[in-house]
Amino acid sequence: MGSIIEGFRKAFFLILNLDPELLKIIFLSLKVSGFALVISTVIGLSLSTLLSFKKIPLQGIIISLMNTFMGLPPVVVGLFVYLILSRSGPLGFMGLLYTPSAMVTAQTILAFPIVASLCHSAIISVDPIIKQSSMTLGATPVQMTVTIMREARYGIMSGIIAALGRVMAEVGAILIVGGNIAGYTRVMTTTIALETDKGNFELALALGIILLTLSLIINIILYRIQRRGSVNG
Amino acid sequence: MRFLKLFFVLILVLAVVNGVALSAEKEILCASTTSTENSGLFGYILPMFEKNTGIKVKVVARGTGAAIEMGKRGDADVVFVHAKEQELKAVEEGLFVNRHDVMYNDFVIIGPPNDPARIKGIKTAIEAFRKIRKSGEQFVSRGDNSGTHTKELAIWKKAGIDPKGQKRYLEVGQGMEKTQRIANEKRAYTLTDRGTWLATKDNDKLEMAIVLEGDPVLFNQYGVMAVNPGKHKHVKYKEAMEFINWLISKEGQQAIASFKDKQGNRLFIPNAK
């Protein structure tokens, strides 16, 4: 119990002191997760829109694959991206391994199936009457798509929030492709893993509490955006 | 296919953004081990090197096996590890050049303070391993191809025992510090390096004690070597050699000697020739 109380105490002091090294780590965490989330949202939303409105070959298999990829083990993704970006791998010439970009790439692969899959189910569960009535009212295909997406926005937002949870909490993949280099690729989760390894349990727990608090703040903001959408819409 | 294209475009964009950021300063990537990073040694000596030469050393800490593999693949510029035989073999294969001894510390056998296998008083690690095996007490192994794991396997071999698959031999596949913690929870014995032991035993509240130390077989030599620029053209060989030469210089050796942990213990003893 002592360690847990000490962890909360330490978290409080760390936040009060605004340690520059900690700020750098937090900022990088937000940057990597933020980039990964934006890219996953773009890819995931496009993919789910395509799957919902167009008949494409192998549709069923693609959807099943997407659902399976929601459960991709981060370590496997990390290893895969490592082998691709390694100097001995196909994209090695770019020198991307052990950079924040490599971390964004790994996290994007982990997060976009979540966005795609959840958005897809949100879009296809929109009442078919809406589609019919907008067609009757003379909507162009683009207008109709926009209307249906607006109806599905609550579910789409949930997909994005779920993906955010995944990228913020992820450690296995970014440890492999980022290397946890101090001041360069060290983020909140990898710092927590490192401090746990060093036996600094209270500090590790304190960092965990800060990470969770950050997640909470972001989620409150997203929830308000989600709510506002449903009231005005 | 469309997705794949998108993926490659994405990587290209990221590469360009990164390339701009990277070209600004001189830096090298050093693949090293958890013991050097977690003990705080790098945090202490690297700023001195950086101040001297303007070269920033980025450290990726893995087990020795993985660190050497990173160098072989060309994913690091310099490798700083502790498994001399593996290192010399890799140099012989032509993958690395300019290997130098840098410093050493030693391994110790730790176990429950009441020492159920009665190791205390035994002089050699080989004899101690035989006795642990005979007593039926548990032994926790790193099991991760690290330098410590390599050393441990060599001792089992010399003792004429094949521990693999034995019920009371636990291969955990984790870093030194976690392995110690598992041994602590299991009331088992394990082989650890003195640096990690001293640095973590109080923080981790380990109820363990050193049961054997001082056997020459437990000598733990750290070495540094550069990735062969003939194998991987992109490596920053010049900067890597500057780092190696600094480590084995009088100044670098003094920096290592003056590094102490929070309790004031000297963790590494420089011995470059």
Q: Strand, coil or helix: what is B137? A: coil
**Confidence (pLDDT) at A233:** 43
Q: Which helix (H) or strand (E) holds B133?
A: helix B125-135
The distance of B100 to chain A (nearest Cα, Å) reads 24
Higher pLDDT, B1 or A194: A194
> How far does the CA of residue A179 sit from the closest CA of chain B (Å)?
5
Distance, CA of B17 to CA of A187 (rounded, Å): 19
Residues of A in contact with B34 (CB under 8 A): 197
Q: Which of B4, B10, B33, B178 would you mutate first to test chain A, the one with the most A CBs within 10 A?
A: B10
CA B78 to chain centre: 14
Ranges of beta strands (E only) in A36-134 are none
Tell me the CA distances in angstroms from A26 to A55, A87, A186, B141, B180, one per residue in order: 43, 29, 9, 35, 30
Q: Which of residues 25-54 of A touch B (CB under 8 A)?
A: 39, 43, 47
Task: pLDDT band for B77, please (50, 70, 90 cuts).
Answer: very high
With cut-offs at 50, 70 and 90, classify the pLDDT of residue B7: low
How far off is chain B from A126, nearest CA to CA, in Å?
A: 26
Burial of A24 (0-12, 13-18, 19+ CB in 10 A): middle
Q: How far apart are CA A91 and CA B169, in angstroms?
A: 41
CA dist B202 → A85, A134, A200, B205 (Å)? 40, 70, 10, 5
Q: What amino acid occupies position B119?
A: I
Which tokens sit at A189?
């989760």
Angle between helical axes of A2-17 and A201-232 (0-180°, round to 10)? 70
Q: How many CA atoms lie within 13 A of B33 on its CB side?
A: 28
User: Closest partner residue to A199 among B14, B74, B204, by Cβ?
Assistant: B204
The SS3 of residue A226 is helix
Q: Output the DSSP codes for A10-33.
A: HHHHHHHHT-HHHHHHHHHHHHHH
**Closest chain A residue to the Cα of B231, Cα to Cα:** A88
Chain A's closest residue to B6, CA to CA, is A43
pLDDT in the model for residue A230: 58
pLDDT tens digits, residue range B196-211? 898 888 888 899 999 9
Mean of the pLDDT values across residues B11-38?
73
Summary mean pLDDT of chain B: 90
* Separation in Å, CA of A105 to nearest CA in chain B: 7
CA neighbor of A148 nearest in space, from A224, A220, A53: A53
**A89 → chain B, closest CA residue:** B73
pLDDT of residue B17: 59
**pLDDT on residue B246:** 97
Q: Where are the beta strands (DSSP E) in B132-204?
A: 139-141, 169-171, 189-193
pLDDT at B117 over 80: yes
Chain B positions touching chain A (beta carbons under 8 Å): 3, 6, 10-12, 14-15, 17-19, 22, 29, 34, 38, 43, 58-61, 73-75, 175, 177-178, 181, 199-200, 203-204, 232, 234
- How many other C-beta atoms can be found within 10 angstroms of the C-beta atom of residue A60? 7
SS3 B220: strand
Q: What is the mean pLDDT of each run of 10 residues along chain A (233 residues)?
A: 83 84 92 96 94 88 93 95 92 91 96 96 90 87 88 91 95 93 92 84 89 93 78 48
Query: Taking a C-beta distance cutoff of 8 angstroms, is the pair A10, A202 a contact?
Result: yes
For every residue of A117-153, DSSP letters joined together read HHHHHHHHTS-HHHHHHHHHTT--HHHHHHHHHHHTH
The predicted structure's pLDDT at residue A8: 86
For the cut 80, the answer to whether the pLDDT of residue B23 exceeds it is no
Task: Calculate Rg over the CA atoms of chain B.
Answer: 21
Q: What is the pLDDT of residues B119-169, one digit of tens each?
A: 999 999 999 999 999 999 999 999 888 889 999 999 999 999 999 878 899
Do B178 and A197 lie within an 8 Å CB cutoff? yes
* Mean pLDDT of the region B7-23: 59
**Rounded to whole angstroms, what are the CA distances from B25 to B18, B55, B115?**
12, 8, 53
Phi-psi category of residue B249: left, alpha or beta, with phi > 0 → left and psi -120 to 50 → alpha: beta
Residue A206 and residue A212: Cα distance in Å, rounded?
10
Residues of B in contact with A94 (CB under 8 A): 11-12, 15
